Every structure is written in C-alpha cells, then in structure tokens.
A and B are shown apart, each in its own frame.
Chain A
Amino acid sequence: MVAGRLTGDPDWVRGMNDIFPVVVLDVRLPRILTAALVGGGLAMSGVVFQGILLNPLADPYTLGVSAGAAFGAALAILLNLGALGSASVPLFAFAGAAATLAAVVYLSSAEGLSSNSLILSGIIVASILSAGISFLKYVADEQVAVIIFWLMGSFASKSWGDVALAGASTAAALGVFLVFAREMNLMSLGPQMAASLGVDTRRVTLTLLVTASLVAAVCVSVAGIIGFVGLLVPHLMRLVVGPDNRRLVPASLLAGALLLLAADTLTRAVLPAEVPIGVLTALIGGPFFCYVFRRQQSARRVW
C-alpha cells in the first residue's frame, strides 16, 4: 500500500477497503516514524551528554530539559491555551525546555562550563521546576489527568507534522554530532588535555550540549517524557561498537530508533491496554539497566 502511494500505481491498493490507506498512511505510519525518530534522537543526545559531561550516567534530561518541557506543557494545559491550536502544548514544552537550558548554561558559565557545574545547575533548576509542576498539578483540578498523561509520553495520534519536526531536528543533530565526533572523543580525556590538543573546549561543549538539548526538547515536546532510552542505548552500544563517537553516535541512533519502535509496537499491538510509552520504557529499561550495570561492576570486582 505504501509502495502503491509511492509509485502511484493503483494495482497495489486494488481490492482493499477504502479506509485502509487512511489508517496506514495517516495514523500508523506517522506514529511509527515518530517513534523511531524520537528514539534515535534521544539515544544520540544521550551519547553526547555522557561524552561531554564525562559521566556515563548522564542522559538527555540531565540538564533539566525534561523538567522544563514538563513545566511548559503543564502550564499550557492548565491555562487551556487554545490560541495556537493543537500545537500549543508542544510549543510551550519546547519553550520551557529551551528556557531551562539557557538558565542552566548561564548558571554554570561562570565556572567555564565544567561538567560538575553543569550537572549541579541542572539538578538545581530541575528541582525548582518539579516543585513548580507539583504546584500546577495541585491547582489544576480537572486537567490534572491530562497533565499526567502528557508527562508519561505517547505516540498515539502523531501527525506528519510531528514526523517532519522530529525528522528535521534529528537529522540536523546527527550532522552536528558527526562533525564534532572526534572532538568529543578528545573531550573524554578531560577539558585540559582536549584544549592542549587544539580543541576549543568551550565552543565544542556549548555547541554539542545546546544541540543535544534541543533535540531532546523537540522529542519531549512531540512525544512527552520518555526515559531510559537516552541512558540505556548509549551504554549498550558502547559495549558493542566501543567508545569512539564516530561509530557510537550512528549506532545509538539506529538502536534507539529500533528500541522505541519495538516498545511502541508492544504497547499498541501486543498489550491488552495501551500503556503509556514512557512508563513502559522505564519498566523494561530500568531493570535491564540494573542488570547491565551489575554485570559491568562484577567484571571489575577485585576480591
């Protein structure tokens, strides 16, 4: 049927119900593509966050992007902003994420954007925002369910507009990450050593973190908060292809896309009721991460 639409040959769709093309082309296909693009985008930005913050436990939300997006979305839902139509929640989510990022970068810039000050600023800003979200939920009454559902993430009812947005940002980010992949490798030697090898550490850090955060912000504003993909996938791929970012970034993009696609298919088609995708990834990803973490630790055990 997709082939039929692409080739324009009516033979492909002969004998099918008229509603089928609509279901596939306007409901299923955008959903599938969005899931894959968001998964790839989150996994890839996870690689960048871990690499730049020199911390294997960092993820796309370390700088508070998710809390900012959640706050923006909750605000839009609460105020029932319909002025911008259905786009108002994603737009507010994105604005919240971008504002949070700016605040975190500003807070940590006095110390030259060191990984410690970035992580600390992220935690501070995120905890203020999560108190804000709690407050919004408290005053929300009826909309509280809407807010909670949005926060848990979903790929249901995604449009071609979402696909275009997620696709454009993921593709642009992939380009940026590949251009700076070797600098990212050098950054893992620490900022002093990277600088002595001719890396403009401040510019590279800022470019990569802003790009990675914006991808994460787009992903969150399209699909809600989906955890563990950005943490788990880079870890697994590092075991498979090694730590070289020139291979790790594309490998994580593909693996993240596959993972979210599989998770979304699972929740849509296999499970009796549709579980929010963010809950599913955390429920499966969390224990799996514990297993990987434990195995890595015991491989290094001394006694």
Chain B
Amino acid sequence: MGFELDDIAFAFAGRPVLDGVSLALEGGRFHGIVGPNGCGKTTLVDLLCRYRRPLRGGIRLGGRRLPDWPRRQLAREIALVPQNFYINFPFTVRDVVMMGRHPYIPRFGSPSAHDVETVERVLAEAGVAGMSGRLVTELSGGERQRVVFARALAQDTPVLVLDEATSNLDVGHAVRLLGLAADQVRRQGRTAIGVFQDLNQAAAWCDRLVFMRDGRVAAAGPTADVLTPETIESVFGVRARVFFEPFSNSLQVAFRSQDA
C-alpha cells in the first residue's frame, strides 16, 4: 500500500514548513526520509498519518484520498512509532502493546484469542517479552522505544511509519528492530517509511531515499541512484564519499571535516 503526495504545503504559525512536496512512496518498499534538522521530516510524517492536515494539496493512500478513510480503518492501515514517547500513567508493558490492538477490538468487547496471540508474538519479536509485566513509567528511554515499536507491530498494518524510531537505541536493538521492519517489507510486502538522522542507517536499510531540504524534496529515488556525494553536499553542506560496503551489503557514506 503506497502513498501519493501532490503539491503538499504546510505551515506553522505562518512559517512555511513544507512547500510544494510531490512524491510517490510506492508500496512494498522501505523508504527513508533524510534531511537537515527542521527541514520538515516530522511534519511530513504527521501529514502521512493524518495527524495534521495539509494546507494545500492532497495525499492518497492506496489510491484513496486520505481524508476519505474512516478513522478506525486507517488505524488498521498505518501504524506509527513516534519520535518522542512519554507516558505519565503506570500501565504495564503488555497493556501498552495490547493498546495496538485497539482498532480490532469492538467498543465493549474483550481482546480475542488472536489479539492475545499477536501481542505475545510481537513482545517476543521486539525483544521485550522479558519486561512485559513491568511498568512503562519505570523503563529507560531505549526500553520505552522498544515497547512503542512492539505496540506498532501489534497494530499489524500494511504501512509502518518510523519517526526516528531508533534514535535512543543501542546498536544491537537498532539493528534488530530495523531488521524486523525490513523483514516485514521483504517477506510480507508491507511498506515502511522511516525518518532517519543517520545516513548510513538509512543507506543500509532503505531501498528508496527521499532527501528533503527547506520544506522541499531535494532528491528522491532508489538509494543507489540518489545517494551521491553531490546530493549529500547540496542538502547537508558536508563533503562525503559514497562507497559500496560488502559486509552490510549496502552503500555507506564517509564524511570528512570541512577544513581538512
């Protein structure tokens, strides 16, 4: 299930954040969105999840205009792992992951056997089964991020949106969770869209990249085509070298300090 964005614009308090973004994020791929701080990456994610509405332009999901999707049905299509997650109330890890099943459970119904099964499975997959009885208020930032990731997996949607979902994770957990997302894309034909700070992480996992700068798309396409020293320099203003790295079997980027 893919997205088509047509001439999207968005502004916060009169300050334009996105301006004229047209983009096709095709289904069955792992898309990476990269760009400098404040270039509108997170706003783009908010628009894709319909948390905000564009001032201009339209977004389609699976050919259907985003505003036309019923709320509950949309929640069965898109799951979100947000950048910041903070919870003030002492729910257990299992409670939070079970919340991911909300779109499937009728208003006064109880979780079905399938819901419970799904929750147990993703608890194990995301490596949080061992802490399923702990309170989320007492977890570290990284642990909480893994729980939120598990919650998104429990939502069991064709589209997974990751907004810097691994920013607090150690390398072991980051590789494990991104591997899970990539696996869902490759084996089950789902779509993943991730915002990344780390270009090398994006290069290693994504088959499509979108470079953004000042609220516009600077370059978009297959990773091998758009991940070039020229694009990186024009978007981030740093000199870089791009090379194939056989161990990760992907393109990687090396940087050099500007004065060297």
Residues on A close to B: CB < 8 A?
51, 54-56, 179, 182, 185-186, 188-193, 195-200, 238, 242-244, 300
Cβ contacts under 8 Å, B96 to chain A: 189
Chain B 69-97 interface 0/1 with A at a Cβ cutoff of 8 Å (1 = within):
00111111011101001111111000110
Best-buried of B72, B79, B89, B102 by chain A (most CB within 10 Å): B89
Flag if B107 contacts A179 (CB, 8 Å): yes
Whole-angstrom distance between the Cβ of A58 and the nearest chain B Cβ? 10
Flag if A56 contacts B88 (CB, 8 Å): yes
| Chain A CB within 8 A of B24 CB | no
Cβ contacts under 8 Å, B87 to chain A: 188-190
Flag if B79 contacts A196 (CB, 8 Å): yes
Q: A198-B71, A198-B102 are in contact. Are A193 and B80 (CB under 8 A)?
A: yes
**Docked CA distance A216–B159 (Å):** 42
Q: A188-B91, A198-B71, A244-B91 are in contact. Are A193 and B103 (CB under 8 A)?
A: no
Whole-angstrom distance between the Cβ of A247 and the nearest chain B Cβ? 12
Cβ contacts under 8 Å, A199 to chain B: 71, 102
> Which of B71, B74, B95, B103 lies in contact with A244, CB distance below 8 A?
B95
**Docked CA distance A196–B51 (Å):** 7
Cβ contacts under 8 Å, A56 to chain B: 88-89
Q: A56-B88, A186-B99, A188-B89 are in contact. Are A198 and B74 (CB under 8 A)?
A: yes
Cβ contacts under 8 Å, A244 to chain B: 91, 95
| Chain A CB within 8 A of B32 CB | no
What are 29 A-B contacts defined by CB distance under 8 Å? A55-B88, A56-B89, A179-B107, A182-B102, A182-B107, A185-B91, A185-B99, A186-B99, A186-B102, A188-B87, A188-B89, A188-B91, A190-B82, A190-B86, A190-B87, A191-B51, A192-B80, A193-B85, A195-B51, A196-B49, A196-B75, A196-B79, A197-B102, A197-B103, A197-B155, A198-B72, A198-B73, A198-B102, A242-B90
In terms of DSSP, what is the predominant structure of the interface of chain A? loop
| Chain A CB within 8 A of B100 CB | yes
CB closest residue in chain B, given A179: B107
| Chain A CB within 8 A of B50 CB | yes
| Chain A CB within 8 A of B19 CB | no
**Docked CA distance A54–B91 (Å):** 13
**Docked CA distance A197–B110 (Å):** 17
| Chain A CB within 8 A of B120 CB | no
| Chain A CB within 8 A of B6 CB | no
Cβ contacts under 8 Å, A182 to chain B: 102, 105, 107
> Which of A188, A191, A196, A198 lies in contact with B88, CB distance below 8 A?
A188
Residues on B close to A: CB < 8 A?
46, 49-51, 71-76, 78-80, 82, 85-91, 95-96, 99-100, 102-103, 105, 107, 138, 148, 155
Flag if B89 contacts A195 (CB, 8 Å): no
Nearest 10 interchain pairs by C-beta: A198-B75, A243-B89, A196-B80, A198-B72, A198-B103, A197-B102, A188-B89, A198-B71, A195-B51, A192-B51
Flag if B90 contacts A192 (CB, 8 Å): no
Whole-angstrom distance between the Cβ of A160 and the nearest chain B Cβ? 33
**Docked CA distance A199–B70 (Å):** 11
**Docked CA distance A192–B45 (Å):** 11
Best-buried of A179, A188, A200, A243 by chain B (most CB within 10 Å): A243
CB closest residue in chain A, given B73: A198
Whole-angstrom distance between the Cβ of A270 and the nearest chain B Cβ? 35
Cβ contacts under 8 Å, B102 to chain A: 182, 186, 197-199
Flag if A200 contacts B71 (CB, 8 Å): yes
Whole-angstrom distance between the Cβ of A45 and the nearest chain B Cβ? 17
Cβ contacts under 8 Å, A188 to chain B: 87-89, 91
Cβ contacts under 8 Å, B85 to chain A: 189-190, 193
Flag if B90 contacts A238 (CB, 8 Å): yes
CB closest residue in chain A, given B70: A198
> Which of A191, A195, A242 lies in contact with B50, CB distance below 8 A?
A195
Cβ contacts under 8 Å, B46 to chain A: 192
Q: A179-B107, A182-B107, A186-B102 are in contact. Are A197 and B90 (CB under 8 A)?
A: no
Whole-angstrom distance between the Cβ of A209 and the nearest chain B Cβ? 17
Best-buried of A56, A190, A198, A199 by chain B (most CB within 10 Å): A198
Cβ contacts under 8 Å, A242 to chain B: 90-91
Cβ contacts under 8 Å, A189 to chain B: 85, 87, 96, 99
Cβ contacts under 8 Å, A192 to chain B: 46, 49, 51, 80, 82
- Besides A192-B46, A196-B75, 17 other CB < 8 A contacts? A54-B88, A186-B99, A188-B87, A189-B85, A189-B87, A189-B96, A190-B82, A190-B86, A191-B51, A195-B49, A195-B51, A196-B49, A196-B79, A197-B100, A198-B73, A198-B76, A242-B90
Cβ contacts under 8 Å, A51 to chain B: 89
**Docked CA distance A185–B99 (Å):** 8
**Docked CA distance A200–B102 (Å):** 13
Cβ contacts under 8 Å, B107 to chain A: 179, 182
Cβ contacts under 8 Å, B91 to chain A: 185, 188, 242-244
**Docked CA distance A189–B72 (Å):** 17
**Docked CA distance A51–B79 (Å):** 23
Flag if A193 contacts B155 (CB, 8 Å): no
**Docked CA distance A199–B102 (Å):** 9
